[in-house]
Amino acid sequence: MLHADDVCLLSGPEVNTVVVDDDGVNTSVLDVRHVDDDDSFSLILSHFFTIWLVFFALTSIAALLRRPMLTQCITAAVLFGGGDIIAQQAVEGKGQQHDWARTARLSFYGGVLFGPAMTKWYQLLNRIKFPSPTKALVYRVWLDQAFLTPVAVAFFYTSMSTLEGKPGEAFERVKAAYVPTLVRNWGVYIPTQVINFSLVPPHLRFVFVSVVSLFWNTYLSYSNATVQQVDQSKSKKDVKDVGSLHSVD
């Protein structure tokens, strides 16, 4: 026979299950399934961010025509912060251990540093006149990827080190992450910019790139966090080695 004492209640969604006991009697048993709190937090946060991002995209296009600089800076802040949220929740699985200071740093970089610079850059590219549409496409993609991108990659890792209060780590961080990031950037953004400069109206080019940037920013956030962990491990090892040296003395 089943007894009430045999039922153990756990937190989580409830499912009613019918069980046949030894006497052949159908008994309704409460089957309780446990859901990990971190998984629930990540799921809720992901749904909230997705809904909010759709709403933001629908409202930002109209605002872009009225105040392009402000709108694009806000867009960059949202997408860099959103990329970091995806990196921490979907890639790193941090759950409730989410580092909101890290998200704030990425948002600050996007809205205050990256957004204004990219707005002016696209305005400059749009003003340059070329003799034919084909040459305009080739030269704009070339200028964007051969001149701006190498500087932007180094600037990103340097800015992150500075915003984390570790400017001394900037050189090593750039040295470790620069080439892989630059090569991956070309793989993503050369085809993206070909589409952007050939098919997208000038006033919407930043928006188009921003959609791709959400996923690219996820990679940047994860890459920076990975290099940061390597730097911290090296620092701890150096401190340990120095301590061992003093112990020997």
pLDDT, residue 193, reads 94
pLDDT, residue 11, reads 43
CA distance 34 to 190: 46
What are the structure tokens assigned to 133, written together? 């549409």
Q: Cβ(211)–Cβ(188) under 8 Å? A: no
CA distance 220 to 164: 15
pLDDT, residue 147, reads 95
pLDDT, residue 21, reads 53
pLDDT, residue 7, reads 41
Radius of gyration for the chain, computed over Cα atoms and rounded to the nearest angstrom: 25
What amino acid is encoded at 247 in this protein?
S
Enumerate the β-bridge partners of residue 27. 19
pLDDT, residue 210, reads 77
Residues of the chain with pLDDT under 50: 1-15, 17-18, 28-35, 239, 241-242, 245-246, 248
Unique residue bearing structure tokens 């008994």:
27
pLDDT, residue 69, reads 84
pLDDT, residue 154, reads 97
pLDDT, residue 2, reads 45
Q: Cβ(223)–Cβ(177) under 8 Å? A: yes
What's the N-to-C CA distance of the chain in angstroms?
73
